[in-house]
Structure 1
Amino acid sequence: MGIRLMKIAVIYFIIGVLLGLFLSVTHLMNLTSVHIHLNLLGWTSLAIAGLLYHLFPMLERTPAARWHFWLHNIGLPVMMFAIVLGAATEIPTFYLLATIGGVITILGILCFIINVLRNIDHTANSQL
């Protein structure tokens, strides 16, 4: 799970960087939030989660790890595409879809938080 998260994190990283370049060239600043979310929730958060899963293998063996992976990686793209479509079309339904994607992502993050709080204790330090 840790390796898989780090691999998907770098995919979000290149998408976020390329989107940032695109925004810089086109001056479409109404998509800045997409750029920021891809880099923070995609690249940074998933890379750190992947490192934690790799360093503490007991974390990646839980159902919460699988829920985290899938909810985070379904919710985030839904949220990002919906924001882009909402900005491009000004159809309010897309912003509702973005909110739903955001809630799905948050549920995944909560699975990660619960997993860490339940499964890393003072004995985990001896594994490092």
Structure 2
Amino acid sequence: MTARFMKIAVVYLFIGVCMGLYMGISQQFTFTTVHAHLHLLGWVSMALFGVIYYIYPTASRTRLATIHFWLHNIGVPLMQGTLFIMLWSESYALVSFTITGSVLIVLGALLFMINVFRHANRERSAAS
């Protein structure tokens, strides 16, 4: 999971930087929330997931980690993609998809939390 999260994190970094460049050049800041969320949920969160799974390799090899990976990686593009379209079209027709993506991210975060709580103490005590 470590490598998967890190590779996707840098893709989100690149997308967010390109989006920021476009907004700066065009002086069009309509998509600032999408830009910020791509960096926070895409780049920063996924990179941190990768680092934490590196620190706790047992946690990274669980079914919870795999489900967390997929929930987050379906949730972020769904949430941010539909939010982008809604801001661009000035229509809230896709709000249910944005909410669905958000819920997937929250569920993934819950599984990540459970996974870390299950494995952090075991690995720390095993290393002592």
TM-score class, shorter-chain normalisation, is over 0.9
Deviation at 1:2, TM superposition (A): 0.6
Aligned-partner residue type, residue 118 of structure 2: R
Matches of 1:86 and 1:97 in 2, distance apart? Answer: 10
Deviation at 1:125, TM superposition (A): 6.1
Matches of 1:83 and 1:123 in 2, distance apart? Answer: 39
Residue number in structure 1 paired with 2:50: 50
**Deviation per CA, 1:42-82, whole angstroms, max 9, x where unpaired?**
10111011011112111111111011100000000011110
Aligned-partner residue type, residue 82 of structure 2: A
Aligned-partner residue type, residue 98 of structure 1: T
Structure-1-length-normalised TM-score: 0.92
Unpaired runs of 5+ in structure 2?
none
CA, structure 1 residues 123+2, in 2 after alignment: closer, same or farther (shift >3 Å)?
closer
1:59 to 2:59 alignment: yes
Matches of 2:65 and 2:79 in 1, distance apart? Answer: 21
Unpaired runs of 5+ in structure 1?
none
CA, structure 1 residues 48+127, in 2 after alignment: closer, same or farther (shift >3 Å)?
farther
Aligned residues: 128
Matches of 1:87 and 1:106 in 2, distance apart? Answer: 22
Residue number in structure 2 paired with 1:2: 2
Residue number in structure 2 paired with 1:38: 38
On the 8 A contact 2:56/2:123 being kept in 1, the answer is no
Deviation at 1:126, TM superposition (A): 5.3
Residue number in structure 1 paired with 2:87: 87
How high is the sequence identity, in percent, across the aligned residues?
A: 40
Alignment of 1:91-106 (within 5 A): 91-106=91-106
Residue number in structure 2 paired with 1:71: 71
Matches of 1:16 and 1:69 in 2, distance apart? Answer: 20
On the 8 A contact 2:86/2:92 being kept in 1, the answer is yes
Deviation at 1:86, TM superposition (A): 0.3
